[in-house]
Structures are given as structure tokens and as C-alpha cells.
Structure 1
């Protein structure tokens, strides 16, 4: 079973899951930058909304005229009034239909467009974050924000806002017409409605809290599923299928229970709102019926009052429904804005320097007094006072026991992190004064844990240089001893490699990664155990290819298998973040130090 996250990671993840205690409107104001580019579309939707609301409000008045003038008249005049007002009703229906369709189209377009923009913005921002961000934030939780939360916002922008405005217009317009029809009855209904609004608002706050909790449980389940699905070989090797299925089932059940609590609360809110509001309206209409019997109100006016009261009650009920959607979207917005507000501690400078033109020998590298600890482990230095100078074209091997700081050095060279002290200069330029694109564009890396994307072989290698031609891709594959096995795949270079390269062996995945780095053709090449997953024959082929690729570039090699670095120009031995030895293979063996001990262990085993 995967281990529990550290307290720091848990705390930061809780920050992502929790939301600031803001009002719904304050939270939703964060969406304004995504709404303002579409003022024209909002204006068109608003005009359609006004026309549709006006047509709806005209219907009760038409009924009043039809009842009082049509049914109250006799003979030809009676028939003409009925015909006129039925035609008027049909005309209003036509206007209402066209305006409603236009409003639906525009707000649906806005919902889809704003959601797409929001997803793009959040994803584009997240991929710029440094590894520190992903140390403390679950990938599955980010994916949940990009799917579940943006869907809630889509419903808000594409439906709920339009419904809220429509029903607000109907409420205000209907209320005004109620006053015009009967100020006395309307005053009574307003007093009663004011008395029932307070419990609705109070209970609505509880619904929002439960909505937020429901979204958190869904995100937890998504994060757990993502973690386990990415580690299925390990899960199955330890026969944890049933255990993990049970864990996920428990997480889903917790999400279901929280969702049902939210649904029950929202159901209670709905029934309370409807009963209280309609109860008040029915009482007032009872008074109106007595007014008609007493002759102080006409039948048409009562009919008009009933219809307007129904509009007001219906719009108020709909507003309470929309408020629930808005509260859920507010929680989603706060989460997404948290992601957008996250700032990577590693940033490109505003006025960057440029690297000098590339020389035929590769890049020079100068590391001075480097101190570094990971943000999640502030009390333990991974590198301490490390200094190193590497000449253009030099091949330097970095060896040492696990945890010595070898991979950390590579991460600092790529500016995945910035050191707490010291400088790194590439071709004489402090790497913090370069843009991240220029720095990383000058470095090629073959990592120990090879990443293969869900694409074909050609596109996986072309990832190293997106503009490369097919011929250049094939040439890089040949240099990496990958061409032969790729040609044997069912569709050659067009063969789909499966998610995370599951259709390839470990050695084949490694050779794809080497071809990718060679295609990039950088002046500085970082090899992190580049041949660790190869069999003896493939290792021999790749080693020859790498030696050819090292010509004309500076190369840093991390290796635990010392037989692969004996030909390096210089070997650096790290221990506990310090350089303890440096020299050639023969020199270090003669010194009988840490390197000689490591070599003796390995070669004796062999």
C-alpha cells in the first residue's frame, strides 16, 4: 500500500482542497478575467434575455385584456377582441421562442468557451511549475480540478448565470406588475416573503459547505485512482489488487456519502423554499378572491395577479436552485484560482542574457560553492560547498553511493530548483540570468526513469526536437541503436508504444530516450544511468553510439556501474553532497579511497 504523504505535503494538499471563507460573489469575481474578452457575446445574450423576459411578462397582461375586454363584451366586438388577443398571445409566443433560443445558444457558447479557456489557462500554468509544486500536490487532484471543477463552472456560465438573470428580471418585473395590479395585496405578499427568506439564506450556507466537502472527496478518489493506475505492475506483483480495489471503493463510498448529505440538504432547501413561498402566495390569492367577490377587483385583474404571482414565485424558487449551483461553482472557482495563483520559485528573468554562439567543442560549465537542500527537507543538505569546473568537450563522470547528490546536481543544472547558495555558469553566463527555454534548450538529458508518451515511436523520438524531419529522427534512432527494434515493430516508426511505453522492454525504452536526446543535439549532455536498463549487447552498441555522440559536446555521466565510466576524462566522487575524490579511473584506483572500494566491490562481483 502506498505510504502516507508527509505532514508538509498533507498540509499543502489541504490548502489546495480547502477554500478561503469568502462570499459566493467574491469567489466568482475571480472568473472576470475569463469573461471580459467576450463582452459582445454577453451583450447579445443579455439583449435576448431582456426580450424573452419582456415577452414572458407580457403574457399575464394579455390574459387580463382578453378576460376583461373579450369575455366582458358582446357580439362582434366580443369576437374581435378575442381574435385580437389570441393573435397577440401567439405573437408574444413567437418572440419568446426566438429570443429564448438565441439566449440558449449564446450562453451555451459562452459556457463552453470560458470553460475551454479556463482549462487551457490552468494547465498552461501548472506545467510551468517547478518540481517543488509537484512534491506537495497530487497529480490526480490537479486532474480533478481540470475536469470536475471546470464542469461546474461550465454549468454556471452556460446555464446558471442566464437562469439567475432571467429569473431576477422576472422577479423584479413581476413584482412591479403586482404593485400596478394591486398595491395592497402585493404589500402583504412582500412582508410574508421577507419572513421566509432568512431561513432559506441560512440553510443555503450549509449547502455550500457540503458542496465543497463533496468536491474534496471526489478529488481524493481521483488522486488515489491515478496513483494506483500508474503503479499497476507493482500493485499486481505484490497481489494488492483486492486491497487497492477496497481502498478505492472506500474512497468512492465516502464521496457518495458526502454527496448524499449535500443532496439531502439541497432537497430540504428546495422544499422549504417552495412551501414557504407558495404558502405565502396562496394566502394572498385567497384575499384576492374575496376582493373580486366584493367588486373591488375585476376577474381579469385577479387572473393577471395570479399569473404574475406565479412568475414571481417560480422565479424565486429558480433563484434558490441557481444559488446552489453558484455555491458549488464558487468552491470550484476558488480551487482553480488557487492553482492559477501558485507561483513557481524558479522563474525566467525579465531581461535575460544570451548564451554565446556554440563552439565546436560544446559548452563550458562552472559550479561555485553550491549549497542546496530540498524544500521538503530543509534540515538536510543534499549538496554542500560543491565547486567544479568542466571544460568544453570534456566528459566527466559523477559517481558515488546512493543519496550522494548525483541526480540533485543534474536537477540544479536544469534549474528544476535553485540552490540556496552558489552559482552555476554555462559558457560563462549565470544560468539564473538565462530564460528557462534557452537554458534547457542547451541541455539534453537521458534520465534513469525513462518517460515514453502515448504516441508512436516517431513522435516519441521527435519530442527531443519537434521540428525535426523523419530522416533526422531515424538517424538519431540509428545512433542510439534503436532503429533495428523499431523497424521490427508491427508498424515500424508508426507503431503506437502504449501508455508509458508498456509495449517496450526497459532497454528499448532507454534507447528511445537516448535517441530523443541525440536528436536534440545539445552542447551539454547529461546521462543519468543511460545504459542501466540495457542487456550486454545493447549496452555495447549504445556505448559506442554515446561515445560518438559525445564528440563536439560536453558530457556529464552518472553511473553506478563503474565499468561504463572508466574512459571518462575525469571522474568526480560524491559522498554526502561533497566532492571527496577527483581524477581518472587509474588515478582513483591508485589512491585506494572510496572509488577504489566501490570498484573493488563491483569488479569482484563480476
Structure 2
């Protein structure tokens, strides 16, 4: 957390104002909840008045019949107050609980949708586990405040102010001392509360650390187990949770001090008021009913202050949570839709792709150029393969082409164009809608095989899905699953082999049927027989389009790209060779050396 955030974390709970945009759509419900809140508080404040009338009016009649009738009326009034209190309190509870659940759901949806729009640069510095912690733990704290604590705070504020007003009206002298005592309670409460809030923010950060570790390790359990690192990872997680525990203990200690101070101070205030009232009754300056009323108002005031102290602690924790959520919502992606977007001109001849003197540095590695003065042109319908050692810049070409990153700023960074239009002038959705990708590590969602393939085109019919699966040679094994295409594939496709996952990813891209196809070592997980089948399917897919499909292939296994129209060899982000397989072999350069190593092996 940077210095600015730390400074903000020590202030008042003004960070909760970040929730205002999420509350505004429900102004009518908030107003209704506020009305029920005030009515419930007024019903509570009416109780001491009814009690005073009962003591002074219902017990003062000499006539037993009149006394019984008066008692019946006064107890009826007390019961009516209790009914009103119950009804208004229940209505208030329902309204604020609804608001808490609704605002929390809206907040989660907004944060999740915002994170999904971030470029990969965001995830270079933010762990997935931390984002999940903010979506769960932090929003739960916000829900507690909006759906409960804030309502209780407002209700007790109204009750406290009302009790204070009644005490001032009925006992001006007593209240002059009570007001002084309240000030003496509030000032230390604010001082202790600042430390509670800072520790609350720190505690939430430590919980996020442990969540990040758990998310990372649970996604790599086979690797952890293969290296017998279970004990090490358990120890690392234990250290993270222990850090969270230690910070939480400090927060709880500070909050316990706050609670103890409020209880002691309020008890002293209550006893003092009771003592002074008893003296007044003995001196004949106050009736017993008046004393009872005063005592109840003092109890209400003391209770309101005590509850406000508890609520203040909850507000401090929620303020820290809100800060963390607002930080996520305030993050802006460096890759965004242009202010004046252009349309991508399409024709039956397909897409022309041009890299014009492109240079690029990853934000996390600004000193090393991933691409330098890189130029490449793909004619419509052409298949071009990118080869080279790891780190040569092949994947970077794919990421820039899909605008996961933008080329380096200024004219020196060059430009990437589709049919002559700079990709930075195209809407992101339109650009990516015309691109299909088959990654090296196939991504399978926790859904059925049908839904996984249809992810490429959600409106596709079942027949279209089956056709794409047949083209990717996935139909046979999908039919053999327990429920066929409706079989749930498990998290990350754990019920499938690597080759089966890869063929589903290929079917997904085929179903999308884009004019630009990006294949990142798409047959890397296949056995020799499957590779031949899928390679034939990919060759067919390169032509299965309404126009001519332009294809860009990343290949480490040179045997898969021998038939490409052109092979481009990269080294350290630069093009060093270019030509057909036969021509490059005859040249005897970098490609020939790579081919000699692979084909000889």
C-alpha cells in the first residue's frame, strides 16, 4: 500500500462516501427505511412517557376501581407503544437488509466487470487471489455496514438525540453535566477509532495475501505434489494466515479498549444520573414517575452511545474495505476504446495484417524490448508462421495484435493495421470479434462440453457445435463421455486429457469462424496420430470462412509449419529471416540450424 493510501487509511470513515453511487438508485427505499427508522426511534422514546404516566397517574387514585381502570388504560398505552415499536423495527430491518444485499451485489458485479476489462498489465502487479479477497471478504464487510450497522447507528443517533432533548427539557441541570460527560466519552472514542481503522485495513490486506497464496497453489496442485512441496506450501500459507491473525489481534485489542472505555463511561453516567434523581425524589423535587422517566432516558442515551461506539468500529472496518474496493474501481486500463472509433472495412478477400516498425516494452520489464522495429505484412488469406527461441517475441506479436497491450507511445512505437486501419482506432469488441485464438494452454471452463465449444459463438445451434467438434476431431471422444456433449468437464477440464482439451479449444475457434486465426502451438498437447488429424483440421479451418482466412501461427515444432505460405524467424524481437521452408533451409541460417536440431533428433 502506498503512502497516500496509508495516510487516507488513518482518517475518518469518509471512504464510505465511495458507496454513494451504489446507493443512489435506491433513494426511494432508503427514504422509506429512514421513515421506519425514525418511527421506531420515536416509539422507543415514547415508552418512558407512557411509563411515567403509569407510575404517576395509574397508581395515584385512592379509589380502587378508578385505579384498576387507569392501570388498564396505561398498560394498554404501553402495549400500543410496544406494537408500534415492533412493527416499525421489523419494517426497518427488512428494508435495510434488502439494501445491504442489493448494494453488495451491485458492488461485486461492478468490481468484477471492471476487473474483466483490465489489460494484462493489471494482472502483472495484482494477484488473482487478492481480487477474490476483495470480492468476498471486503464486500461482506460493506454488506454488514449497509445492511445492519449503518441502520443501527442512525437509529441510535435519533434515539440518543431524542433522549438528550427530553432530558434537557425535563432536567436542564442534570443534562448540563451529562453533555460534558458525553463529550468526554466521544473524544477518546474518536482517537482510539483512528487506530482501529488503520489496523482494520492492514488486517484485510493480510487476509488478501493468504487468499492470493491459496489461489495460486490450488491451481498448481499437481506441480506442488510432484515436487513434494506440500509441507513448504502449507508453511507458507500458515505464515500468511498467522500474519493476518497477529494483525487481527492488534485490531481486536484496540477495539476491545474502545468498547471497555465506552461501557465504563456510560455506566458512570447512568449511575450518576440515577443518584441525582433519587436525591431529588427524596427531597420532594421530583415524582417517582419523573425519576423513572429520567432513568429510562439516561439508559437510552447511554445505550445509544454504547451502540454508536460499536457501530463506529464496524464503520472503520468497512471504510478500509471500501477503500480497497474503490482502488480496484479506480484502476484504469491503458488499453481502452478510442474516442472516435472507426469501422473495420471488410471484404470477401479477407483481412490484411500489417506491423509497421513496431517497438514494444512490457510495463514490468521496461529496460528490455520485447519487439524492436518489427515489420511484417500478411496478405489476405495468407498463412504465416512465427518461429524462434523462447523469448524471441512471438507471443508478444499475438498480444499486440489483439490489443492486450498497445505499442510503445509516439510515432517511434510504430503501428499495427488491419485492412489499413490502426487497431488503436478500432473498438476493442469489434477488433477481437474478428479474431480467433487457440492458445498453447487450452482453457476449459467449469461447464459442459457443449457450453465450452459454444463459448466461441454463444448463439450457435447444437448442430453448429457438433459440426465444429467434428472438424476438430473432438466428436468421437465427446460422444463417448457419460452424458455426451452435456457432460460437465470439471474445473479447468480436469476430466479430459491434454489433447482432448486442445481439440475443444480448436473447435471453439472453428465455431467462431473469424477472418483472422491465431494459433499458438495449437497441436502441442496432441499425440502423433491426433496431431495429424488436427493439423488436417487446422489446414481446413484456415480456408473455412466466408472470405479467405488470414492465419498467424506460432510454432516451436517446425514440422507443423512446413506448408505455411511464409515462415518468419524472430530473434530478440527482430525479424532475422523470412521465406518458405525450402528457401530457409537452403539459406543455411538460423532456421536451418533449428530444423537440423529438430529433424535430426
Task: Tell me the equivalent position of 1:7.
Answer: none
Cα deviations by residue, 1:463-489 (Å, 9 ceiling, x for unpaired): 111111111111111111111111111
For the 8 Å contact 1:472–1:519, the answer to whether it is kept is: yes
SS of residue matched to 1:20: helix
The equivalences for 1:303-342 within 5 A come to 303-342=292-331
Alpha-carbon separation, structure 1, partners of 2:324 and 2:76: 52
Establish whether residue 74 from structure 1 lines up as the match of residue 66 from structure 2.
no
Task: Tell me the equivalent position of 1:563.
Answer: 559
For the 8 Å contact 1:395–1:554, the answer to whether it is kept is: yes
Task: Tell me the equivalent position of 1:221.
Answer: 210
Task: Tell me the equivalent position of 2:571.
Answer: 575
The alignment's C-alpha RMSD in Å is 1.4
Cα deviations by residue, 1:144-201 (Å, 9 ceiling, x for unpaired): 0000000000010000111011000000000011112211111112122222322222
The equivalences for 1:39-438 within 5 A come to 39-75=27-63, 76-359=65-348, 361-420=349-408, 421-438=413-430
Unpaired segments ≥5 residues, structure 1: 1-12
Alpha-carbon separation, structure 1, partners of 2:366 and 2:234: 36
Distance 1:30 1:379, change over 3 A: same
Alpha-carbon separation, structure 1, partners of 2:487 and 2:56: 78
Alpha-carbon separation, structure 2, partners of 1:16 and 1:463: 42
Alpha-carbon separation, structure 2, partners of 1:195 and 1:233: 60
Establish whether residue 497 from structure 1 lines up as the match of residue 489 from structure 2.
yes
For the 8 Å contact 2:10–2:195, the answer to whether it is kept is: no
Establish whether residue 26 from structure 1 lines up as the match of residue 14 from structure 2.
yes
Alpha-carbon separation, structure 2, partners of 1:52 and 1:20: 35
Alpha-carbon separation, structure 2, partners of 1:53 and 1:109: 20
For the 8 Å contact 1:393–1:553, the answer to whether it is kept is: yes
Alpha-carbon separation, structure 2, partners of 1:374 and 1:17: 26
Alpha-carbon separation, structure 1, partners of 2:253 and 2:11: 22
User: What's the TM-score, normalizing by structure 1?
Assistant: 0.96
Q: Which is worse superposed, 250-259 or 416-425?
A: 250-259
Cα deviations by residue, 1:497-542 (Å, 9 ceiling, x for unpaired): 1111111111111111111111100000000101111111000000
For the 8 Å contact 1:411–1:417, the answer to whether it is kept is: yes
Cα deviations by residue, 1:29-72 (Å, 9 ceiling, x for unpaired): 11100001101101111111111111100000111111111112
Cα deviations by residue, 1:202-233 (Å, 9 ceiling, x for unpaired): 11112112211211111111111000001101
- Shift, 1:19, TM fit: 7.2
SS of residue matched to 2:578: strand
Task: Tell me the equivalent position of 2:455.
Answer: 463
Alpha-carbon separation, structure 1, partners of 2:110 and 2:332: 14
Between the two proteins, the alignment pairs up a number of residues equal to: 592
Aligned residue among 586, 589, 592 for 1:590: 586
Alpha-carbon separation, structure 1, partners of 2:564 and 2:281: 104
For the 8 Å contact 1:19–1:334, the answer to whether it is kept is: no
Alpha-carbon separation, structure 2, partners of 1:433 and 1:395: 25
For the 8 Å contact 1:16–1:335, the answer to whether it is kept is: no
Alpha-carbon separation, structure 1, partners of 2:373 and 2:2: 36
